[in-house]
Amino acid sequence: MFEINLDLVKKYDKPGPRYTSYPTAPHFNESFTHEDYLDEIIKTNYGENLPELSLYFHLPYCDTLCYFCGCNMLITRNRDRVKEYIKYVKKEIDLLRTYILTDRKVSQLHWGGGTPTHLLPDEINDLASYIKSSFNFKIDSENGCEIDPRELTREHLEALRNNGFNRISMGVQDFNEKVQKAINRIQPEDITRQTVTWVRELGFNSINLDLIYGLPFQTLNSFAETVEKIIDISPDRIAVFNYAYVPWMKKHMALIHDEDLPKPEIKLDIIKMTIEKLTSAGYVFIGMDHFAKPDDELAIALKEKKLCRNFQGYSTHAATDLYSMGITAISQLNNIYTQNFKTEKEYYNAIDCDTLPIAKGYMLSYDDHLRREIIMKLMCNFELDINETEKKFKINFNDYFSWGMNNLKQFEDDNLVRLKKDKITVTEMGKLLIRNIAINFDKYIESKEDTAKYSKTI
């Protein structure tokens, strides 16, 4: 069982990036253009062993507003609005396909939101079949979709399964009725269990359930009941996220009253209990907020040091080019990041002009590549080979990262890392505080150029 030292968690529980990218999204800039993106796409078509493709589609619509939600979503029940959006996503696919070699294989597909299953089953069939006909999918591609069991029918899941989807992710957040009412997301336990049953009957390979701690009215005992029910449901993967209450960024969060949120010490007790219960039940702590059964691909990749990380979180698909479509969607090629426009109007206008709907982006420098590799290896492998890094990037590691290495001495004293001449190794307890460890290799944090407001690391 993984035991948590709460004194250390309190000591290091400070705001910091989640490092789904480096540099992080606040550093993307509007000087990056459609032409910059095209130049980089074309470069990826040349050379040996071309990267496989990972595709992400952002489907932003939801029926109702969940007060806690931090996603880029839009509330609507206007079916014409949804159909219009699907039409433009298809146009974006057509534009993108013009520049990517047709024989490059897709190894990963993900639909996120919003609520992708806000689409009707025939709309799922329409968009999924268009995607399949537009790209060259590997036979064993990993195809995942986020779903909402409220207003979901078995026909929605059948449409996904018939179009090759083999993984499902679903939000639960908390089974407690008082908590659900406070966040405006009424999702009875029997609906969740029914959906999981359908998913298994239809032969999906994997199911992930999301929980959130730090929501209004949560207590240690009430959340323990939710965790025990999740263990009984026995999903393949579980994500347990820290609720980031940011009403200055997401105005609807003001509908949640600050005085109803659990105190910081209660939140720490909750995450300690959750990790200990899940690991005692046999789940492997992948890192940060993810857990998986020992035979799951994530757990195997962690053991074999093949885990990677992107804007969807931890993944087993390293070295792919991520192309993301839809409003706000973020793409990642080897040398660049791009983000699409955030509003439907801007997104549609760009596509009507036959340009990819890029609002901003970022071109990585040599230093960015170096720091990204270090941060991602620490986040995913929980160790770093210093000699290997020095040879690859032609640096003296301790000189280059004197600020960060000096800071890590405190982490070593607290048994969160082990520092050797040729290696940095993160301990089991250090995995929980990996964001704090990674920060020490972030140039923008070191130079105090990063002014973004991040959630606390725990």
Q: Tell me the per-residue pLDDT of 153-189, one tens digit each, with 9 for 90 and over.
A: 999 999 999 999 999 999 999 999 999 999 999 999 9
| pLDDT value for 2 | 66
∠ at Cα 303 (298, 308), nearest 5°? 50
Higher pLDDT, residue 17 or 121: 121
pLDDT single digits (tens) 59-111: 999 999 999 998 889 999 999 999 999 999 999 999 999 999 988 999 999 99
Residue with tokens 């709309």: 123
3-state secondary structure of 139: strand
- Kind of pairing, strands 336-340 and 358-363? antiparallel
| pLDDT value for 214 | 95
- Kind of pairing, strands 313-315 and 321-325? unpaired
Residue with tokens 């999924």: 128
Within its chain, how far is the Cα of 65 from the centroid? 21
Mean pLDDT of the chain: 94
What is the maximal distance between C-alpha atoms in the chain? 62
Residue 367: pLDDT band with limits 50, 70, 90 = very high
State how far the Cα of 271 lies from the Cα of 188, in Å rounded to an integer.
23
User: What residues have CB less than 8 Å from 187, skipping those under 6 apart?
Assistant: 149, 150, 171, 172, 173, 180
3-state secondary structure of 150: coil
Q: pLDDT at residue 451 above 80?
A: no
Within its chain, how far is the Cα of 164 from the centroid? 22
| pLDDT value for 310 | 79
Taken in order of first residue, the domains within the chain and their CATH numbers are: 1-21+366-458 (1.10.10.920), 24-325 (3.30.750.200)
Please count the other Cβ atoms lying within 10 Å of the Cβ belonging to residue 155. Answer: 12
Residue 48: pLDDT band with limits 50, 70, 90 = confident
User: What residues have CB less than 8 Å from 191, skipping those under 6 apart?
Assistant: 149, 150
